[in-house]
Each structure stands twice: as C-alpha cells, then as structure tokens.
Amino acid sequence: MSFLQILRQRLAGNESRVLYLAMLTMGASGLAFEYTLSKISGDILGNSVQQWAVIIGVMMFFMGIGSDVQKYVAEKNLFDAFVFLETVLALAGALGPIVFIYIYGLFPFHFVLVQYFFIIAIGLIIGMEVPLVSRLNARFLPELRLNLAAVLKMDYIGALLGALAWIFLLVPNYELSRVAFLIAFFNWGVALISLYFFRRQVVRGRLLAAVNLLVGLTLVVGFFNVDRWRIDAEQYLYRDRIVYSHTTPYQHIVLTEGRNGDISCYINGHLQFYSGDEFIYHENLVHTVMNAAPVHANVLILGGGDGLALREVLKYKDVRRVTLCDLDPQMTQLAAENPFFRGLNRDALNDNERVKVVEAAVSPGESYTVFSKNDKYLWRGGYDSVATVHVVNMDAARFVERISGMYDVIIVDFPDPNAPDLAKLYSKTFYEHLRKKLSRDGLMIQQSTSPYHAREVFLSIGKTMRDAGLSTVPLKDNVPSFGEWGWWIAGRAENYSPGRIKKALRGIKNIAVETRYLTAPLIRANLVFPRDALNDDDIRVNTLGNSVIYHYYLNAWQNE
C-alpha cells in the first residue's frame, strides 16, 4: 500500500483535517515566501528596511484583492482552482529569487517590473487561499463561525511556524535561492495530496496531474542546480569572474578575480575591498593609531573579519594579545580557510610561529574577560614571544557592553552605516562603551566613510564621538577604489586633547614596521582638510533613538 493510500485511509471521513493541514502548510509557506522575496530584493537593491516594508505591504494589499477575486470561481471548480493555484504558487515562489538576480544583471532598468510581477502574483494567490479553503471546508463544516475559526486559526499558526522555520532553520543552513525551492516543495506537496485525496471532486484531474508532475520535476531539477544557476546569474552583476559566492545568515559574500589576479570582495553587493589598493586603506586604519599610541600590547579589532587589519596589527612585535570581534562566524572561517583570503591576510587567522589563534565563545548574559592570570605579559614583564588572537563572533555592541579590562588600541572597521541595524554601531551609546574600554593612554580609530561624498556622515561620526566624551582628530586619504576616505582617531577626553593627539601624529618620524604605502610625512598630510570641510554646526549627533546617521548616509549616496 502506498503512502498516499495509507494517508487517505487514515483520513477517510476527516476531509476537514486534510484542509486544515493544507491551510497550516500554506500559512507557513506564504509568509516564508514573503520573507524570501523581501530579503533577496534588499540584497540586490539595498535599503533592506524599505524593501521589506514595501514588499510585504504590497503583498498584503494584493492578498486583499485576491480574496475578492476568488468569488468569481464557480463552486464546481473550487478544487481545481485550489490545486492549480497551489501548483503555480510553488513554481513562482521557487523561481522568484533566481529570476530576480538574472533580470537585475541582464535588464536592470526593467527589474522593478519583473520584481513586482512576482510579488503581485504571489500576493494574489496567497490572498485567494483562505477564502477558497473556507468555501471548500463549508461542504464538510457548514456552520460559518466554526469554519472560519478553524481555517483562520490554522493559517495564523502556520504563519508563526513559517517565520520561526525561516529564521532559525532555513536561512542559517541554506542559500536563499535554495530556501525558495524548499518552501515550494511544501506547496507542491499540498497540491499533490489535495489532488489525490479529493480526486472525485476535481473536474480536470488528468490535466492538473500533468501540470503538477511537470512542476514537481522542475522543482527537483531546480533544487539540485540552483547553486550553479545563482552563480551564473550573479556573474552578470560583476565585471570580473566570480570565484566564490555564499550567503551566510548575516550577509551575502562574493569574491571576484580579475584577469591580473586581483581579488575583489563584495558583501551584499557593496565592494568591501580590492586587493590592488586595500593596503592603502588598512595601513591608514592600523598604522596611524599604532604609531600614535604609546603602548599597544593589548589591541581590540571590531569588525575586520577578513583578517586584513589583523595582518597589519601583527607586524608589531610588542603586540601580545589581539581580540577580534566580528558578527559573522562564517566570515572569520572564510578568512582562515579560503586560499584567496589567506593569501591576502598572510594567514593572520591561522596558528603559526607568530600567532596563536583562540576561538572564544561568549554566551548570552556572560561577561568576557580580557585579561586572565595566565597572561604573563600583562603588567609584570615576562613577555611571551607569541601574540594570542582571540576571535569572538557576536554583535559588537553587545560584546563591548560585556567585556572587562582595558585596551591600548581599539580599531573599528565596521561597514558604512547603510542599514538601521548598523547605525547603532555609530551611536553615542556605543562610543560611550568604547571610551570606558580605552586605557589611560589608549587611542582608537574609526573608519568613517568618505568626507567628500558623504560629508554629513563623516562629520556626524566625529561629533557623536565627541559627545560621548572622546577627543577626536580627523584624517583622510585617497583610496582609488573608493575615492577620498576618512577616519577619526580619538582618546578619552580627560587624558587627551585634540592638540595632544595631533602632536603625537605629527611627532611620528618613521613608521615602526614595514609598509607598502603609508609614510610618516603622509600621516601629517592626511591631517589637512579644505576650508570649512569640518564645519559641523548643522550636523546632529547619532543616537539609538534617532539613527540620523543612516538617513545622512542614504541622502549622501543616493545623490551620487
């Protein structure tokens, strides 16, 4: 006896239960499809908050339209319409993400048309589901209040289960394009089981069976080939050949290789570094503060999961301990294992004669101890010859709140504040926590986007740091891949004045380690800004409550 025959036998006389199971599945898959299309749109177009809000809003609007359209389906065709719509929804939901990537690469000016065609179509179908199932269930449970209560209850429970599965099961373990196919299999299964169980009520059974079979074969083929399709589609988005593409629970990472062998790294479509000039950025980020700070035995790097800032820090023989905190464990793993990253960061995240790498786990609610009694080099001489690198994967804001101890140098290498969740890492509250972690003579440096292309962002960062009790000095240099770029170097206001920081920078006679680009005279030159470039009278301080820096960022780069 087949599985479907056993299922039919078990459910005989319980037709409503079959429909409730279908409604539960549809509620879960419908919400998961909404999330998937919103996420892929945010990854492609940026401004993820806007994409999520607009897409889900549009979908819900057309769900309302769909609930009205279903009234034109004749009673005799209810089962046919239900099976057909579920089959079409499975196909559209599965192919949506991969089609989005192809269209954006090939026909970017027509992307929005295709994007909203899928969104509207899926919204209409999802909207037709609940009233169709209610009408079908009325044949077995005619009392309206009981019918609606049962159907809507299963829909809402399914939505919760779909949200939890999408967040905690699907996205952490599968690429987004593969997630769409996994969700689609549930809709296809609902159509298949309904077609079999209610086959006597279906008018066009053979035609629907053929369509269902064809869609099922398409889903199977797509599931096993979607990774190749995704990379082929993404290739249209990049000039150079893609050599690595992977979506983590936090971001989408792409590496490309040019004809000359240079590597570019993109995160969510934004260029993070180009191997041909990344050393200009990272030498400014690291060596400026390392040569200005009187002590740098204990260093904190926030962000920088690629290991490139760490590479520069480890050039200093008196560095004894480095704590690297990056949100994404797959990024630090990639930096430690991928041959392209390892070549660029010189194995900074691998155990060797100079470095001992320790992965440190911090549980929720647990504090992280910077110093331990086994650290011989701290305060009592007995310097160890090996620098210990502690890699911590967690949200930097939470990490800074929990760590104990002090740092001689703090290097902040976050992405630009191009999303609301990144804006908190540039807030007054965050800098107040960082200030408390600086030692008496400690200094920190913050990458601060472009003082030319995003002037308001740059100035807001400096003003926010000062409002948090830090003395600040701005720096700028030209990084060919990004244009003019800026940094703020800072110390605790009670220990440093801007004049003292400038004196330390201007007093650098030679860079203490070997560099490819940066020199002491260039550091002094980077202190010079054009007239009125640093006038921040109209600039607001960024706080957790206003996220003004995110709005500054959107205005700056949308106008470019």
Dig out the tokens for 37 from the structure.
């299309």
In a 3-state reduction of DSSP, which class is residue 64? helix
Of residues 80, 413, 416, 477, which has the active-site annotation? 413
d(CA 451, CA 459): 8
What three-state secondary structure class fits 381? coil
Which tokens sit at 65? 């339209």
At position 547, the amino acid (one-letter code) is S
Cα–Cα dist 377/385, whole Å: 10
Q: How far apart are CA 398 and CA 404, in angstroms?
A: 12
Beta strands in 294-344 (DSSP E): 298-303, 321-325
> Which of 326, 310, 180, 177 lies closest to 252 in space, CA to CA?
177
Sheet holding 298-303, edge to edge: 355-359, 387-392, 321-325, 298-303, 407-413, 438-447, 483-492, 470-479
Measured CA to CA, the distance from residue 267 to residue 247 in angstroms comes to: 9
Cβ–Cβ < 8 Å for 222, 94: yes
Give the contacts of 370 (CB within 8 A, at least 6 positions apart): 298, 321, 323, 403, 404, 405, 406, 407
Give the number of other CB atoms < 10 A from CB of residue 182.
20
CB 488 within 8 A of CB 448: yes
Q: Could you give the angle at which helices 176-197 and 205-235 cross, rounded to 10 degrees?
A: 180
Integer Cα distance of 484 and 486 in angstroms: 7
Let me know if 413 is a catalytic residue: yes
DSSP symbol at 177: H
Is there a contact between 486 and 478 (Cβ–Cβ < 8 Å)?
no
DSSP β-ladder status, 403-404 and 368-369: parallel
**Which DSSP string do the residues of 130-188 spell out, in sequence order?**
HHHHHHHHTTT---HHHHHHHHHHHHHHHHHHHHHHIIIIIHHHS-HHHHHHHHHHHHH
d(CA 164, CA 168) in angstroms, rounded, equals 6
Closest listed residue to residue 246, CA positions, set 338, 321, 166, 316? 338
Active-site residue set: 413
